């Protein structure tokens, strides 16, 4: 093969604009403005989704703790209580469920959770989530083989859960009837202040 006859093609020229690094100040400002518009549109929607997640998570945790207490009372053939608790080890009777709650077996009926009696502790909900208890849950509720009871002989109760920063669609209610069945419903009439 004759190398002299081999024709080399023209080498490509490098465009000077494509070899520059960075961007101009105008391009940068246009990019920042576009990002600002996207954030203005997206952030309120994202914050609503986050609030809704915390609300749904709290409702789910409350419902599962109630179902746990009910099933454990049947399994153990003993009284199982659910109470407000900030430390997961002791109960307080001020009806403030916003700091967390505790499920414990109360086989000795003293109303005080010992280490061996604790079943499960739940931490506080998100900072803007508010829980309001009524009926049997405003007292010192317990699940027995017969269902839900309280010290004031109330046999049903409910939790209203809402987000303080969102509209009416961010409200839910957990209702427990006299035999201990747990149901969840949307709550349109709850005031979330307080």
* Run means of pLDDT, 10 residues per run, the chain, 194 residues: 56 54 84 85 74 88 95 94 94 90 92 92 90 91 89 88 69 89 76 59
pTM value is 0.74
Task: List % helix, strand, coil for the chain (3-state, nearest 5).
Answer: 35, 25, 40
Delimit the domains of the chain by residue range: 39-186
pLDDT score at 126: 82
pLDDT score at 157: 93
Q: So what CATH class is 39-186?
A: alpha beta
pLDDT score at 65: 95
Map residue 138 onto helix, strand or coil: helix
pLDDT score at 27: 87
CA dist., res. 162 & res. 154, Å (int): 24
77 φψ region: left (φ > 0), alpha (ψ -120 to 50), beta (else) = left
Listed as own residue / partner, the contacts of 113-118 with beta carbons closer than 8 Å and 24 or more positions apart are 113/81, 113/83, 113/89, 115/89, 118/88, 118/89
CA dist., res. 44 & res. 33, Å (int): 18
């Amino acid at each position: 093969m004759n190398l002299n006859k081999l024709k080399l093609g023209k080498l490509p020229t490098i465009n000077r604009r494509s070899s520059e690094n960075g961007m101009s100040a105008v391009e940068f400002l246009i990019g920042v403005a576009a990002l600002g518009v996207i954030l203005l549109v997206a952030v309120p929607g994202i914050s609503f989704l986050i609030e809704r997640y915390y609300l749904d998570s709290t409702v789910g945790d409350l419902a599962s703790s109630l179902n746990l207490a009910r099933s454990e009372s049947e399994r153990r053939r003993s009284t199982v209580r659910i109470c407000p608790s900030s430390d997961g080890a002791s109960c307080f009777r001020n009806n403030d469920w916003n700091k967390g709650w505790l499920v414990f077996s109360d086989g000795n009926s003293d109303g005080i959770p010992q280490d061996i009696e604790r079943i499960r502790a739940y931490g506080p909900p998100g900072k803007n989530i508010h829980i309001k208890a009524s009926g049997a849950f405003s007292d010192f509720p317990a699940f027995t083989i017969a269902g839900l009871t309280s010290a004031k002989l109330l046999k049903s109760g409910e939790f209203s859960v809402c987000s303080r920063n969102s509209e009416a669609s961010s409200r839910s209610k957990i209702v427990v009837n006299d035999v201990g069945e747990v149901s969840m419903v949307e709550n349109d009439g709850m005031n979330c202040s307080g």
